[in-house]
Structure 1
Amino acid sequence: MPTSMPCPSIRIPVELLTQSSFSQFGTVIENPAHSPLSRSQRSPPPKATSANQGSALKFLDVTHLSNLYNLAPSKKSAKAVMNMFVCAPRDLRPHEPSESMPSSWGDLDFDEDDYGNMDRELFDVQILERHPFTTQTFIPMGLSGNERHTQYLVIVAPTLPASGSRRHVDRAPPYPTPNVKKQKSIKDLFAKARPSPFTNEAAPPPPQFTRLHPSARPKGPGLPDLKNIRAFVATGNQAVTYGAGTWHAPMVVIGERPIDFVVVQFANGVGIEDCQEITLVPDKNAEEGVVVMIDSDNSGRVQVKAGVGSVNAKL
């Protein structure tokens, strides 16, 4: 696949990380009691049951893990792996006025003179990656949910159709899913008939991917949709699972100290099948590239500027 793609000037406001706002990209893992949303705004809580002789409440199916390596060209099986990432705070650059518009939030008016005591800094998104055949769960350790001086950003993008990707790089991006045409047997042909001569089914069985959570289904061969890239701020009470094939930036820690993440995924050791990366290069007419606007208060806590729970945003 291409190693880089041109990008326009885009500035992205920060959103609150919630299950409803993040659902197309993956799942948010959190204790419902600690959700930053009010009770009326929260999604229905996951199923719960009593555990540990009644001393604990066990929430069931809090995220969706997918191993799709049976689709990989190498056919090499994958195993579950658990790694640790010690992520240092990122370098931010000072705020500079720009004509760039926030992606996906073009109807919001972010007045340059209307953020009072807020400090605004900028993070340049220079690389996106995806894991085509596996979900990837990041679990922060040692970060309090009330921490004001260190947080982390989750930056994600939808996937463009293959035809749209061709316009960006002038060639169709290869995707590591083989398109094998095999000769169908007579039994295979009759199996599609309904009612089936082999079963009592009146309708064909659903495709295998319909049983997966939408965020965990294969995303296809497309490049990232930069005009709809989004940035979420997470608390220490939240872990996040990227759906298989979801384009995302490497983890972005904001603040004073590193964050330790335990990362759970599947891997088969074949580089292009485990992880694909693309560098974002501002095109020749771009003032800058893809930039996240990070507003923080006097304590250093990142402020939400778009979506649910936003402050100082004009509709």
Structure 2
Amino acid sequence: MTLARPHFLPTEAQALELVAQPLTREAFAAFGDVIESGQRPPLSINAGMTARHHDLAHVDLGPEGGRALVNIFETQPYALPLRVAMLERHPLGSQAFVPMDGSSFLVVVAPAGDTVCVEDVRAFVTDGRQGVNYARGVWHHPLVVTQRVANFVVVDRGGAGHNCDEIHLPDGVRLLVS
């Protein structure tokens, strides 16, 4: 797969401040899935001892094949306001983040594509019991926690092919998240 070199589109505003909105399935739908247990009634399994919250995200391994990787990320906290200088995308598969310790985190995203328009960047804040699954190709900031070191289960694609592109904001453009 040959991809065009990603770039930010110019913006008239030299500084853009994003206020993180509460994360909801509806608001996040263009970027992927919200992973939370309240989406639908659970299935009762294991002789009634377990409630299975089933099929909460579309794990996309891409048309070229690959395998699912299950990882644990230990993430250091950022200070707010966060200055966004870079976004990344995974063109060959989805990437999911689920907090292991109830940590709330910020989600900074932009639509999939070979360009990123600064005005299209969105920010969400989770409630500590929600995870996200970024759809293949969706631009996102690396994991952002603000209160303490936090651990996350991360499910993404392993296998052949280049699966991480980075894009940097041009000089003079400031994107702040609070």
**TM class, shorter-chain normalised?**
0.7 to 0.9
Quick one: distance in 2 between partners of 1:86 and 1:48? 29
Aligned residue among 87, 105, 113 for 1:152: 105
Q: Does 1:58 align with 2:52?
A: yes
Q: In the alignment, what sits opposite 2:122?
A: 230
Q: What amino acid is aligned across from residue 77 of structure 2 in structure 1? A: P
Q: What amino acid is aligned across from residue 135 of structure 1 in structure 2? A: S
| Structure in which a larger fraction of residues adopt strand | 2
Quick one: distance in 1 between partners of 2:117 and 2:7? 14
Quick one: distance in 2 between partners of 1:233 and 1:21? 11
Supply the RMSD in Å over aligned alpha carbons. Answer: 2.0
User: What SS class does the counterpart of residue 139 from structure 1 fall into?
Assistant: strand
- Structure 1 residue 78, shift from structure 2 partner: 1.9
Quick one: distance in 2 between partners of 1:254 and 1:135? 24
- Structure 1 residue 85, shift from structure 2 partner: 1.4
**How high is the sequence identity, in percent, across the aligned residues?**
34
Are 1:46 and 1:62, in contact at CA under 8 Å, matched by a contact in 2? Answer: no
Quick one: distance in 1 between partners of 2:78 and 2:114? 28
For residues 194-232 of structure 1, give each alpha carbon's deviation from its aligned partner in whole angstroms, at most 9, with x where no partner exists. xxxxxxxxxxxxxxxxxxxxxxxxxxx421232121111
Q: In the alignment, what sits opposite 1:277?
A: 166
**What TM-score results when the alignment is normalised by the length of structure 1?**
0.51
List gaps (5 residues or longer) in structure 1: 33-44, 71-76, 93-121, 144-149, 160-220, 295-315
| Structure in which a larger fraction of residues adopt helix | 1
- Structure 1 residue 17, shift from structure 2 partner: 0.7
For residues 70-115 of structure 1, give each alpha carbon's deviation from its aligned partner in whole angstroms, at most 9, with x where no partner exists. 2xxxxxx4222122211101133xxxxxxxxxxxxxxxxxxxxxxx
Quick one: distance in 1 between partners of 2:104 and 2:98? 13
Q: In the alignment, what sits opposite 1:137?
A: 96
Quick one: distance in 1 between partners of 2:118 and 2:19? 14
- Structure 1 residue 28, shift from structure 2 partner: 0.8
Are 2:6 and 2:115, in contact at CA under 8 Å, matched by a contact in 1? Answer: no
Quick one: distance in 1 between partners of 2:157 and 2:40? 24
For residues 5-58 of structure 1, give each alpha carbon's deviation from its aligned partner in whole angstroms, at most 9, with x where no partner exists. 4564211111001111111101111121xxxxxxxxxxxx33532212112322
Q: Does 1:29 align with 2:35?
A: yes
**What TM-score results when the alignment is normalised by the length of structure 2?**
0.87
How many residue pairs were aligned?
172
